[in-house]
Amino acid sequence: MPSIRTPHGDVALPAFFPDATRAVVRSLDAADLEACGVPGLVVCAFHLARRPGSKAVAAMGGVHRLMGWQRPVITDSGGFQVFSLIRQNPKLGTLTRREAIFRLAEGGKAGRLSPEKSIQVQLRLGADILVCLDDCTHPTAPRDEQAASVARTIAWAERCKAEFERGVSRRSSPEAVRPLLFAVIQGGADAELRRLCARELVAMGFDGYGFGGWPFDAHGRLLDDILALTADLMPCDRPRYALGLGSPGALVACARMGYTLFDCALPTRDARRGRLYVFGTQGDLSYDRLYLRDAAHRRDRGPVSDACDCLCCRAYSRAYLHHLFAIGDSLAWRLATVHNLRFYAMLMGRLRNSERPQQFGR
């Protein structure tokens, strides 16, 4: 079975990492996450740099010590915040050739995020897998904007790699397992730009590669052709990371394209809204959604899923979960989130059955 070797252990692929954006998966602690079979977490370097601050996290012994989490951690670079904040609201910042400048506080000091600073923050947090700062775009953006994004992403990746090598050489002993650095392939829905970006990044040499940019069209449909093309452009002996994906159906589709690593806030966000996933009857990878707030579950004595071994399904009924959501008790969040993350871990296990043995990392 393929795996990634990291300073905090090996990760069997394909794998799904829940989003712990601000160093927490809402309503769960580290023991809950381990019991679910979660192999690793993704934290947001941009948000942690603002609060509590990357130096404060480093003083606590790193993000693993801060969270009480001993499995791998991916730190995102801040590239998605460039997209979600600056690109969607130019009043909140500016993109230059050298850096992104954020203006998030009224009358406050501008925050600057350069490739070098992004890597420095991620290293201070103690990440196992770092991601190069990139310039994310929407697939419907004009071609000149996509081309500028690709040029910036390539230039920033080169600077990220140089800063990463400097930082790792200062921090790591020769015999230690080094953290990994992933680059992100941009280009929107333009196949030519995707090829250009991938060619330049692969020539630089990274430990893994990710699909960058919004993965859906204007109608919410998965960009199957561009996702598949981008996967084919990535080296077959490196992890292929589909950043920000997603639903169980999208994970299965992307795994068949060759992607091996995923992250998304969807399963935990859905859990807090009472939307749970259960395996279907049409095969090992089929699934259904269960809406626990529906009145039909008010007297349902059955578990959320007979196919699940999580705490929620072992000990509690659908009726009890329906009641907890109805009264707004926080236990509803915990039990539903435990179930959804266990579902994702089991789904990844089913996908791994067809994978060939291989190991990625140093």
Residues annotated as catalytic (active site), given as ranges: 76, 263
Q: Which two tokens stand for residue 88?
A: 């969607």
Residue 218 to residues 27, 93, 190, 257, Cα–Cα distance (Å): 33, 25, 15, 22
How many residues does the structure list for the chain?
362
240-to-89, 234, 278 alpha-carbon distances in Å: 30, 7, 26
| DSSP track, 266-294 | HHHHHHHTTEEEEE-SSSTT-EEEEETTS
Instruction: Tell me 84's DSSP state.
Output: I
> Is the distance from CB of 234 to CB of 240 less than 8 angstroms?
yes
Q: Does a cis peptide bond (omega within 30 degrees of 0) precede residue 349?
A: no
Q: DSSP H helical segments within 133-190, as ranges?
A: 143-171
Q: Is the peptide bond before 52 cis (omega within 30 degrees of 0)?
A: yes
Residue 291 pairs in a beta bridge with 275
Q: How far is it, in rounded angstroms, from Cα 57 to Cα 43?
A: 12
